[in-house]
Structures are given as structure tokens and as C-alpha cells.
Amino acid sequence: MLSESKAPNSLHLYIDLNSRLSEIQKEFNTYFPFLKIEFFKAPHKIGQGLKKDLIINANKLVKDCSTVKKGGVIEFTSVTPVSDLETKFFKDFKLSVQVFRKAGRVWLETTATDSWTLAQQNEEGAEFSTPSK
């Protein structure tokens, strides 16, 4: 679950072993509407993407995708670089995630821009997804 704490831009994503991956995706997307996270069967190297056939079905439970046997919290802010968030997911929960940015009607992997902050990625997605007037 995603919620703001008392510090500005501080967010917490609560990971419960019985949560569905889709619930985590939905909560993340409520704060960053032009971003999404996908869960993969293997980690990716910085700057490299993964094949789409390695995406884990979002209906799976966290406990079925991770070797970590306890829930916890991922803390981040809007100025957290994408690569740092992806690293936190793997380090803390052994979950391989990749952030995607909306570009019109398609979702682009952010591998070339993993050093950008979540806010920068979201703003870029908004710019390319909002119809021109």
C-alpha cells in the first residue's frame, strides 16, 4: 500500500507476502499515473531490459515470487532514481522489477533513463501521453 508520511514526498510501499503483485502495481500507479512496475522472473542489468516473456503474472502472490519470508516496507520519494527503486525491490524482497513509462498508448522500459527520478519519468510520461490542444 502506498501512503504519504509526514515528510514531504516521502512514500511507503507496504509489501505483504499475501499481496498480489497487481495490488502493488495499482498502489504504485496511483502516485505515478504515467508509470508502472512489472515484475520479472530474473533481474536485469542497469541499462538493459528483459524479454516480455519473463514478466510474472500479476495475479501471483508475493510469497510465490520471492524467497524472502517476511513482509516489509519500501521507502522512497518522488526524487528517488528509478534504478534505486528497482534495487530496493530486489535487495529487500528478491523481487525483480522494471519501471515502465507511458508514451501515448504504449509503455516504454526506462532502461536508458534509469538514472532519472520517478518524478522526472512521470512528468515525461505525462508530456507524451496528454493530447495536444
Angle between helices 118-129 and 82-93 (to 10 degrees): 120
Mind listing the pLDDT tens digit for each residue in 41-80? 877 666 666 667 789 999 999 999 999 999 999 999 999 9
Q: Are 21 and 36 in contact (CB under 8 A)?
A: no
**Res 3: pLDDT:** 43
Q: Residue 4: pLDDT above 60?
A: no
- Cα dihedral 6, 77, 56, 126 sign: positive
Encoded amino acid at 5, one letter? S
- Its pTM stands at 0.86
| 118 grid coordinates | 520517478
pLDDT digits (tens, 9 = 90+) for 73-111: 999 999 999 999 999 999 999 999 999 999 988 999 888
